[in-house]
Amino acid sequence: MAVSLDLPADAALAERHEKAPAVGERLPVHSAVCFGCADIPHGLRLASWVADDEAGAAVVTSRMELRPDQQGAPGLLHGGLLTSAFDEVLGSVVALVTRPCVTARLETDFRRPMPIGRTLWLRGRVDGRRGRKLYVSGTAHLDDEHGPVVGTAKALFLKVEMEHFLKNSRPEDLEALGVSPEQIRAARS
């Protein structure tokens, strides 16, 4: 049975970590090959900035240009790519609170068509935290940060230990980040 993504009543406010980038700063790419944020030809190439929030929660705003090679229905963005974009934005905003986290559950509502050639502005917010669980929500707007809402999302991210990657990631990709073969072997023994 699907578990609710609703914020529990006893969730705590999730503020940015003291070492996280400040409001207005552009977020660096996660990795040079990230499908969501890296400057690679087939990627979503999201550009993201830390945004302000009245309640003090962590918020990120991202821009995504909709390209002809991203179509599903003729002339419209493929739905799965909106979900991918939300995964990137929501993953980026939880990383302002605590790291590393992974997506456990992500729901997307598709509210309006998204024409190729236009721009999506996405906003992700950490609505609260309870232990390892981070409850996040997002909205996607057309053409402008305050433009019409074309999609919304809710997700649950879980904080994990670095062992999650040391045990599961492809070894050559870990080694490219500077992890030694000995560290990888030790985590998997």
Ligand X SMILES: CCCCC/C=C\C/C=C\C/C=C\C/C=C\CCCC(=O)SCCNC(=O)CCNC(=O)[C@H](O)C(C)(C)COP(=O)(O)OP(=O)(O)OC[C@H]1O[C@@H](n2cnc3c(N)ncnc32)[C@H](O)[C@@H]1OP(=O)(O)O
Catalytic residues: 87
Query: From the CB of residue 39, how many other CB atoms can be counted at a distance below 10 Å?
Result: 10
Residue with nearest beta carbon to ligand X: 91
Let me know: does 130 contact 146? Beta carbons within 8 Å. Answer: no
Could you tell me the sign of the dihedral formed by the alpha carbons of 138, 143, 146, 148, in that order?
negative
Residue 149 sits at the vertex; the CA angle it makes with 7 and 28, to the nearest 5 degrees, is 75
Q: Give the interface segment with ligand X, choosing from 39-47, 58-66, 103-111, 146-154 (CB under 6 A).
A: 103-111
Question: Any contact of residue 3 with ligand X (CB under 6 A)?
Answer: yes
CA distances from 57 to 23, 67, 70, 128, 136 (A): 11, 32, 32, 8, 10
Piece in contact with ligand X (CB under 6 A), picked from 21-29, 69-77, 136-144, 152-160: 152-160
Return the range that interacts with ligand X (CB under 6 A); candidates 17-25, 56-64, 86-94, 147-155. Answer: 86-94
Which of 7, 13, 38, 166 is in the footprint of ligand X by CB under 6 A? 166
Give CA–CA dist 80/86, Å, rounded.
Answer: 10
Q: Which residues of 64-87 are buried (b: 16+ CB within 10 A; e: fewer)?
A: bebeeebeeeeeebbeebbbbbbb
CB of 99 to ligand X, least distance (A): 6
Q: Which residues 28-47 are close enough to bind ligand X by CB under 6 A? A: 30, 36
Binding of ligand X by 105 (CB under 6 A):
yes
Smallest separation, CB 89 to ligand X (Å): 9
Residue ranges binding ligand X (CB under 6 A): 3, 30, 36, 87-88, 91-92, 95, 99-100, 102-105, 133, 156, 158, 160, 162, 165-166, 174, 177, 179
